[in-house]
Structures are given as structure tokens and as C-alpha cells.
Chain A
Amino acid sequence: MENIVTQIQGVPLNHYIIFCSIIFAIGVTGVLIRRNVIIIMMSIELMLNAVNLLLAAFSAYRGDPTGQVFVFFIMALAAAEVAVGLAIIIMVYRNTKSVDIESLSKLRW
């Protein structure tokens, strides 16, 4: 246990922020460059996880458990979001026979 604590104290908080920013930026890039709806949702999960890790890091560094409770709520929310989102994707696939995001462009009109 002490070993873990010393390991935390070796890493500056800045590096956690930079790491989570990189993961978040990768998630945004994934949303922008892919056309498969499922992969876009996976990129959103990546972004959610980056935020989760940053909240947990702040919580551990400040000695305040509220941040970790927030991460717990975000995880519950993500589970709900994924269930509904994948159900919508199945509906779209049933109607258009593709998971291409461009097939949803007629929703504009």
C-alpha cells in the first residue's frame, strides 16, 4: 500500500492533465474521421473515460472523495447511454441497411 502511495506522489498532477487531454483529443479525432456509427460511439466512450480518469486523479490529489463518486455516476450514465445508443443504431441499420453516418443525413430535412 505504501508503495502505491509513493508512486502517486512521484507523478505531477500536470502529467495526468496532459495524458487525459491527449486521450480526449484522440476521442474527438475519432469522431471526426470515422463514418461507422459504432466507432463514433466508441470514441465518445474514450472521451468519457479520459474525463473519468482526470476526475479520479484530482480526487486522489486533493484527498476529496467527491470526485470519485462523480466518476461512479458518470459510469452509470455511460451504461445507460450505450444501451440506448446501440438500440438506436440497430433501428437505423434495420431501416437503412448500413451503419454509415452519412445515411442519417436525411434527418436534416
Chain B
Amino acid sequence: MSLFYFVAFVAIFFALMTIFTKNPVHSVLYLVVTFFTLTVHYILLNAQFLAVVNFIVYMGAIMVLFLFVLMLLNLNGDTEPMKSNLVKIMGVIAGMCLFATLLGALRVIEPSHEIVTGNTDIGLVKHLGNVLFNEFLLPFEISAILLLIAMIGAVLLAKKEVKEIKKA
């Protein structure tokens, strides 16, 4: 139980570091640590499949993609022009307002405190696979098409245009 609070604290700390660090590369590394703490949260929830997928897809693939683009664009310095302090303070206040609104909504809703643990191993690969390939077969196939389209779009967008190369 206390492990949850410790990991939650670490996650919040590194999330704050992510958005307040000036160097983009450090920011990416802090975000990796944040995602790792979220993986620990998934394990605490006994959602083992999601923990593994989070570990591989988010920490492995997506963060490496971010780091790769940062290195490709050579942004490894404090080159970013910062916003003025007034805008920063207003942004932080807006974020706090959002959090306060969510908390207020939570107080009104009063979610039930009883814990329904009918089947505690729903997060295992076997159970999730059963659900995924029975009830959610069509969305699963559609997401495969989505990934294909995203891949084509990314290649098309990032490719250099032939005319520009000839001009240069």
C-alpha cells in the first residue's frame, strides 16, 4: 500500500521535472523515468500485459523515437527560446485550475469505495487475448489498418521532396 504512494510521488516529481527542465534531452530522459513508474503502477494493479506493453512500446519505441528526432534536429542545447514569465505563471495557474476542477467534480461524484475483485487475474495475457479476439476483433483489425496508414503518412511526410534536392 505504501509502495503505491512512494511510486506516485516519484511519478509526479519526474513529471514536473519533465516540463520544467530546459534541456530537451534531459526532459526526454525524465519522461522515460515517469513512464517506468507508470509501468510499476500497472504491475501493482496486476495488469501484467499492459505493464509489458507500456514498457516495450512507450519506454522502448516512443521515447527512442523522441530522442532520435531530438538528436536528428541537433537540439541538444538550451536553444529553446522560453516564454515570458507572465505566460508561464498563467499556464501554471491554468493547470492548477484544471486540477481543482477535477477535484471538485470528484467530490460531487463520490465513487463507491467498495472494491469489486471478482476476477483478479483479468490483466493476464490469456484473459485479455480472449476478450480482444472475441468482442473487440473488428476494432483490433481497424487499428492494424490505422497503424499501416500512420506508417505510410510518416514516410510520406518525412521524405525529402525530389524537386528541392535538384534545386540544391
Contact = CB atoms under 8 A, between A and B. Distances in A.
Interface string B130-153: 011001100100010011011101
B73 A99 contact: yes
Interface string A59-99: 11111111011011101111111111011111101100001
17 contacts: A7-B4, A10-B1, A11-B1, A13-B115, A22-B99, A24-B102, A26-B15, A33-B88, A38-B66, A39-B19, A45-B31, A53-B42, A60-B47, A63-B116, A68-B122, A69-B132, A76-B143
Given A15-B4, A60-B45, A60-B123, A100 B117 contact: no
From DSSP, what is the main secondary structure of chain A's interface residues?
helix
Given A35-B80, A39-B27, A89-B73, 15 more contacts: A5-B120, A8-B44, A10-B4, A11-B4, A18-B103, A18-B106, A21-B99, A23-B11, A33-B88, A56-B45, A76-B147, A86-B69, A87-B155, A88-B157, A94-B160
B33 interface: no
A46 B150 contact: no
A38 B5 CA distance: 30
A26 B95 contact: yes
Nearest to A49: B38
A27 to B, nearest CB: 8
A84 B157 contact: yes
A19 B98 CA distance: 14
B75 A38 contact: yes
A79 B115 CA distance: 33
Contacts of B66: 38, 41-42, 82, 86
A74 to B, nearest CB: 10
B12 A22 contact: yes
Interface residues of A, number: 76
Contacts of A41: 66
A91 B88 CA distance: 28
Given A10-B1, A49-B58, A83-B65, A19 B122 contact: no
B62 A45 contact: yes
3 smallest A-B Cβ distances: which pairs? Answer: A10-B1, A29-B95, A32-B91
Interface in B11-55: 11-12, 15-16, 18-19, 24, 27-28, 31, 34-35, 38, 41-47, 49-50, 53-54
